[in-house]
Every structure is written in structure tokens, then in C-alpha cells.
Chains A and B, each alone.
Chain A
Amino acid sequence: MDSASETPVVEMLDIVKVFPGVRALDNVSFTVRRGQIHALLGKNGAGKSTLMHVLTGLYAPDSGTIRIRGTVHENLNTARAKQAGIALVSQHAKYIPGLSIAENVYCGMLPMKAGGFVDWKKMNRDAHEKLSHFGLDLDVTRLMEDTTVAERQMIEIARALFADASVIILDEPTAPLPKHDVAKLFEFVRRQRERGASFIYISHYLEEIFEVADHVTVMRNGAVTGTSAVRDITQQELIRLISGANVERYRRAGGNIGKPVLEIRKLARPGVYSGIDLTLHAGEVVGITGLEGSGPGELARGLFGLEPLGAGDIRLQGKPYSAASPIEALAQGLAYLPRDRHGLGIVAIRSVRDNISLSVLKRLQSLVGLIDGGSERKLAEDYIEALGIKTPSINTAVENLSGGNQQKVVVAKLAATEPRVLVLDEPTQGVDVQAKVDLLRIVDQLSQRGVAVAVVSDELNELMDICDRIVVFYRGRIIREFRKGQDTITTARLLAAIEGEMGEKADATV
């Protein structure tokens, strides 16, 4: 009760942030107290990152109040947030690889001797002293590039603490760490908490929350769905808060599943995934899910030639399949909807028409090599109509459309290539509820036409609604497969599998 009466370190009240077509933060309130490890949970796109971007001054909120150590900050920018004591330690800590630990610790404020020379001795001594003060006994003359990821993160946290940080945001710190380093990092973080440091802890691994956090806040669709002391909540309740009850859903009736179209056998890419056996059938929608970095996204990009695919036997309609580039993938009938819509999906400054026809210009050419303007216009108009793309005209630049309509434009571009296999990577990310429903309907319709569809996503409700099968990756392997109609598919069971629990054991805990 004592700590509750104290002024919170961070207090965010009724924060609203709107992006074109999406209410990214909808009256979000979030409080971190001194000496607290506060876990922030939610799926991709739930609003966690946006909230943290507001706190670190990267995004200006549309409304709401931010108090840091009791002071209201109205025009927070990254410099002011840093000054106020907000520090971000990202999964990939920022450091200068070619310099020593000591130099990195002192970066920008190297101790000087008379005449403007760096006082190396003092620097190394002080750096070692400072780090050991935080319980880090390291040889500070080692190069930063020779340290482990966990060491880098701890150094980064220590640096933030030297700078008198009020609260340190840890963004999925354990994702790149081996198991024993996770324990070390937790031990370090707990020790700093005892000294009064506060942390915001973002992670997808639920068991970690119970291991390290004191308090937990869950977000979903831009709003807080619950906040509680960790000791007062169960894993099941957390899961329910994370997934929520869907407001609007599109349910696929079930498809006419035909012959195998894409057959993957014993596919392995060292360090990424191994032993992948997966078959996609004509007219089938297969969901692929798993934690970030556990394989589904890498497999999707690999199949489309954007990443190395690894070694194994892959056949598309019976013929050996390999793709060193998207050109080869498309030529063999495999199209891919990228997760990064702005980076890989749309050419934002060009028109809706130009984007839709981009992959099929060759087909639209007449005998003399000129693009048939009439056919191109018809192609664009047909897809605008069929997919319900809301646009003032076919000549409107795609950047002027909402996120959902941009995504539909990308789907139109893919559908125009008339693929045999469609791989969709987080197709509903960053689009509003209605567009989500529309997109799922479109996916269903494409599969009804005999396209084999794979949906990579961690929107479990959506996968359950439209997929005939859901395969779950865990650390580079397919750990479980759920078949609609044969297996009982619940969010809890899926999440358990995603977190690495196998078969019966997972069922028992639910």
C-alpha cells in the first residue's frame, strides 16, 4: 500500500492516437510505480508499440496526459523523454561493435586528460567500477562485438541507469537469448528493481511474466483490456484478456479441398527451421502460427524468394519448386502478401490502377508491346468492385487510402497474377475491424476458386474462423497441427502450443 500512495514514475492518462483508418490508441491509461516490473502484453497490432512510442516521444498523442515523476509533459519529443528518464532497451541493443565495452559505456562523454587526449586508464577503471556497482563484473576492454546478446542488454540497462533513467522499457529482451542467459538477465533485472529501478517489460512469452513481473497490463485493439498484480491473475485469464471476445467475425463455411498443390518435405534452414513437412491442397486455407522468429514468417518469405529457403524437397503441382527471387516464385504460381505493407506491398505514390496491374503488365501488352489501356482499366475496376476497395478513382495514389483498402489493393495485385498458391503474411495487421472481415471473406473466396492458401498470423481467432487446418511452429519446428472438425480448437490450446507445450500436457492445464 505504501508504494501505491507514492507518486507513480510514469502515468499515462486517456491517451488517444489515431492513424489513417485505425484508432491505434483508444483512451489508454497506463501507470508504472517505482520499483515495479510492469509487463505489457498484447498481440502484434494491439497498441503496445504505439503506446511505447508515445512514451518515448516518437509519436505525439492526439489527446491525453503524460506525467513522468509527477511532471506533466505536453510536448514530449524523443530528446525530452530521454531527459525525463525514459529509456528504451530494444531487442537489438544499439551499440558500436568495433569499440570496447568501456568506450561504449562512455560513448559521447569520454573522460579527457589535459590537451584533449582521452584518459583511457580512468575510463577503463571507472567503467568497470560503474558496471560492477550494478553487479556486472566484466572485462571492459573487450570489444562490444565479442560480448553476448545478454551482456549487451545488461550493459545497455546499466547505461540507462547511470543516466538516471526513471523507467526502462525492455522490448522483448529474451527473444534472441538462449535459456541460461534468460535466467541471468532476469536475475540482473530483479536486482535493479531492488535498488528502485522501474521497468516496462514487453514479451510474448507468458511464463516469463509470472517469473519476473510484479504487475501486468494487457492491451487489445488499441485499448487496455485489463491490469492487475501478477499474483492476482492466472495464465488463463491473461490469455482471455489478450485474445478477447471477437466483436465481428467472418466464419468460413468450409471448402472443397482438392489435390495437393504445394508439398514441402523435410525442409530445413540452419538456425531457422528444420524438419518441415507441410502440404497445401487446392481450395484449402491453412493457418500457420507461432512466436515471432519461430519459423512461420521466415518460411513464408523463403517460399517467395525473399529469404533463403533452405534445403528440402518442395513440389508445386508435382513439379520441383524453388525460388531465388519473387520473379521465379510468381512464374511458378506462388504469390505472397507481405507483412510489411508499406515496405514491400504498395508503391504508395503510384495510383490504385498502377499498383493492381504491376505484376501482370506483361499480360496486358498488345502485340506491338503497348499496354492495352482499356484492359488495364477494366482489370483495376473489376478488382475494385470485387474486393470492395474504397477509392475515389482508379487514379488515386494508394497512399491516400486507408490501411484496409491499401491491403485490398495488394491482394488485388496478387489475385491478378492468378496464383495456384497464395501465402498471406499477417494479412489483417493494421487494418480496421470491417476491413479485417472483408479481407477474410476475400481469402475465403479465393480458396473457393481452388487456390491453396496459407495464412501466417498470430490472430488466433481469425485463424480459427477461416482455416481448415492450423499448424503451430515452436522454435523452428512444427510442434502441432489442428484440424477443423477433428481436433478441438480453442485459443487456449493454440496458445499453449505456441508457447511450446506439446499435446496432452497442454490440454490438461486448460
Chain B
Amino acid sequence: MQLSKHVPALLDHLIWVILVAVFIFFMTQSPVFLSSTNITNILSAAAILGILVVGQTFVLITGNFDLSTESTLGLAGLIGMFLIVPATAPYWGGGIMLNPYISIVVLLLMGAIVGYIIGALITIGKMNNFIVTLAMLLILRGLIMAFTKGTPISGLGFAPAETYFWLGHKALFEIPGVIKIPVAVVATAAVFVIGHIILNHRRFGRELYAIGGNRQAAIASGIDADARVRQVYVLSGLLAALGGWMLAGRVGSIQANLGEGYIFTVMAAAVIGGISLQGGRGTMLGALGGVLLLSTIDRGLNLMNVNVFWVKVIQGLIIMLAMFIDAQRVRFRSFEKVSQEPAGGQPAASN
């Protein structure tokens, strides 16, 4: 009885236990794992993944999907770059050399618009979210390819690009060889904190949980579920664009496949972090745990020189394990319910 009481709580926070275990494991396997450079690398990778996972978490909590974010990310990175390179640049017939700040505003706006279109197709067009975002994934990726014609391009060497790359490239604080805090890591941390506040302490976030938990009941409680779903996709698109900007800076160049295949990792991190695909359940803290765990494992396996194919297999197994744990969580919840029945069903004498 005592055990069953603590099991659900343990399962809810299992991600952190596993993260620590994984950390210790890699420390024993690789002497450089705990080095400041390596930690910075893990966090930098986690920063971009994290931005997308925050957006995805909002969408998932309403009981929807957004498969398109990796393409939105790619297109945003590309558009931002196109807007700042000069017309004389040897790429895509030349850029338009806008002020980099304007280009950043434009790319973020682009992400928001993509999100709004998706949200409108789902809520107003009554289309299936899976299909709509899958189609958008293909459309945007196709646009990127058509635009770059497959040529990878580097923005390095242009003065405006330095500003553009700031988010993904620069450190906010650095003592060489000792500590380095990239701007991207701080930015993502801020996004997580803001995401957490919105989900838990703002009407908007709380309504998302209700929509994901029981859409009809949410509507009958006076919530504009369709508007919320559109807003959530706007948020997801906006954050994907922010991620694109970040990734462009980190990589330093734009390729047609920027962000390609990322969505699997995003979904995996969210699910591992306890975000329910059915909607209505999950926290930002859990999502953060999922992001850190996947980034750590990815980096650790890399350091151990594990073949990239096996990395894929291991990632797949981790997702399965996460789903297994989630299934156990559901089982324990219903167990809890059954054991409470007599007490709950007993009418009170003193009313």
C-alpha cells in the first residue's frame, strides 16, 4: 500500500533519476564527458531542440500535433539569411541586404503566419491536424529546396551575418577553457521559464489543459477551443522560427536540409518528458527533462564513438521505454482509482 502510494510520484519524476544515471554512466565511460566544452556542447544542442519542444508541448497539451516545425525552422533560417546577404552574393541570384534586425522580425513573423495557417486549416477548415501538418512539412521543405536549388550557402564573412548569427553562435559569458555560457542556452532557458509560467499561471495555459483533457467539456465551460488551438499553432510556428534563427547561427551556413528529420527527436523528447499524446497532461519541467536526456545520450554516444546507426536504434529503444513507463503510469493511476472507490463512493453522513 505504501509502495503504491509513492510509485506514481516516482514515475512522474523518473526522468530526472534516469538523467542522473545516464550522466554517471557516461562519466565512467569517457574522461572528457564532464569537461566544460562537452557540457557546453550538450547544452547548445539542447537549446535548439528545447525551443522546438516547448512549442510542441503547447500543441500536444491541446491534444494536437505539429509535425511541420522542422520545416518551418529550416525556412525561417533560410529567409533570415536571404534577407541579409547582399545582391552581389553568389547565392540564389543574390539577397536583398536588409538590416539584420528587420530580417529577424520577418522570419519570426513568417513562423507565426505558418502556424496561423495550420491552425486555421484545422479549426476552421475542420481538417485533421496530422495530415495538415504533414502536408505543411512537405510544402515548406519543398520551398526550401526550390529556393536554394540544393546549394548549401554560407553567410559567414558578411558583416550583417555576424549580427544574425549572434543568437546561435555567441557566448553571453566566457572564461576561455573554464566556462562558456552560449546566448542560445540562456535564451532557451528563458523560453522554458516563460512557457512554464504561461502553462501554469495564465488563463491561456490552463485552458489548454482543459481542451486537451476534454475538448467538449472545455467548450461547455465557455472556452473558445478553436481560437486557443490556432494560438497554440502560432506559438509553435513562432518558436520553430526562433529555432531556425538559432540553428542558422550555430551551423553558420544554410543548407536545404536544415532541420530535416528533427521532428522525431522533438516528439521523442516531449513524450519522454511525460507530455501525453492524448493531450491534457504534461509539464514544461518534464519536457525539459526529456530534452536534456536526449541531448546527453546523443552527445555521450558520440563521445564513445558509437556508430551513428546504433545511435538511431538506441534512440528508438529509449522512446519505447518512455512509452512503456507512461503505460505503467496510467496503470498505476487506475489502480489508485480502484483502491479509492470505497471511500469515494461512501456517502457522507454529516452534510
Contact = CB atoms under 8 A, between A and B. Distances in A.
> Do chains A and B interact in one complex?
yes
Interface string B152-190: 000000000000000000000000000000000000000
Identify whether the interface residues of B are mostly helix, strand, loop, or mixed: helix
Given A306-B220, A344-B217, A347-B280, A361 B345 contact: no
Interface stretch (A7-15, A196-204, A367-375): A367-375
A255 interface: no
Given A327-B222, A369-B202, A400-B336, A346 B217 contact: yes
B217 A371 contact: no
B348 interface: yes
Chain A CB count within 10 A is highest, among B207, B210, B213, B218, for B213
Contact of A434 (B223, B336, B347): B347
B206 A390 contact: no
Given A388-B348, A400-B344, A401-B344, A358 B210 contact: yes
Nearest to B334: A399
Interface in A329-382: 329-331, 336, 338, 343-350, 354, 357-359, 361-362, 364-365, 369-371, 373
B151 interface: no
A433 interface: yes
A346 B345 contact: no
A348 B347 contact: no
A21 interface: yes
B88 interface: no
A358 B218 contact: yes
A70 interface: no
Nearest to B338: A20
B344 A347 contact: no
Contacts of B2: none
Contacts of A433: 347
A343 B201 contact: no
A326 interface: yes
A345 B203 contact: no
Interface in A399-438: 399-402, 404-405, 413, 417, 432-435, 438
Interface in B316-340: 333, 336-337, 340
Given A343-B217, A349-B281, A369-B202, A326 B222 contact: yes
Contacts of A369: 202-203
A350 B213 contact: yes
B346 to A, nearest CB: 8
Interface in B86-120: none
B28 interface: no
B192 interface: no
Contacts of A364: 203
A20 B210 contact: no
A421 B249 CA distance: 58
B228 to A, nearest CB: 12
Given A371-B202, A388-B351, A345 B220 contact: yes
Contact of B206 (A348, A371, A402): A371
B280 A361 contact: no
Nearest to A360: B222
Given A343-B216, A354-B209, A365-B203, A359 B222 contact: yes
Contacts of A434: 347-348, 351
Contacts of B206: 354, 357-358, 361, 371
Contact of B347 (A346, A417, A432): A432
Interface residues of B, number: 31
B348 A347 contact: no
Contacts of B216: 343-344
Given A330-B222, A344-B216, A373 B348 contact: no
A361 B203 contact: yes
B221 A326 contact: yes
B208 to A, nearest CB: 11
Contacts of B281: 349
Contacts of B344: 20-21, 390, 400-402, 405
Given A20-B341, A347-B210, A370-B202, A336 B220 contact: yes
A362 B220 contact: no
Nearest to A345: B217
A413 B210 CA distance: 13
Contact of B345 (A20, A357, A370): A20
A344 B340 contact: no
Chain A CB count within 10 A is highest, among B197, B203, B217, for B217
Contacts of A350: 209-210, 213, 280
B347 A404 contact: yes
A20 B220 CA distance: 24
B36 interface: no
Interface in B21-70: none
B214 interface: yes
A369 B201 CA distance: 8
A474 interface: no
Contacts of B213: 347-350
A358 B221 contact: yes
B17 interface: no
Contacts of A52: none
B219 interface: yes
Given A370-B197, A405-B344, A347 B224 contact: no
A325 interface: yes
Chain B CB count within 10 A is highest, among A390, A417, A438, for A390
A357 B201 CA distance: 13
Contacts of B202: 365, 369-371
A134 interface: no
A212 interface: no
A304 interface: yes
Contact of A402 (B280, B345, B351): B345
Contacts of B345: 20-22, 402, 432
B214 A354 contact: no
Contacts of A370: 197, 201-202
Chain A CB count within 10 A is highest, among B206, B207, B280, B336, for B206
Contacts of A432: 345, 347
B8 to A, nearest CB: 11
Contacts of A435: 347
A326 B217 contact: no
Contacts of A338: 220
Contact of A325 (B210, B219, B337, B348): B219
Contacts of A361: 203, 206-207
Nearest to B207: A361
A370 B203 CA distance: 7
Contacts of A331: 222
Contacts of A21: 341, 344-345
Contacts of B209: 347, 350, 354
Contact of B203 (A20, A371, A399, A438): A371
Given A325-B219, A345-B220, 12 more contacts: A21-B344, A306-B220, A326-B221, A338-B220, A347-B213, A347-B218, A348-B213, A354-B210, A358-B206, A369-B202, A371-B206, A432-B345
18 contacts: A20-B341, A20-B344, A21-B345, A326-B222, A327-B223, A330-B222, A344-B216, A346-B214, A349-B213, A358-B206, A361-B203, A365-B202, A370-B197, A371-B201, A390-B348, A400-B336, A402-B345, A405-B344
Interface of A: 20-22, 304, 306, 325-327, 329-331, 336, 338, 343-350, 354, 357-359, 361-362, 364-365, 369-371, 373, 388, 390, 392, 397, 399-402, 404-405, 413, 417, 432-435, 438, 441
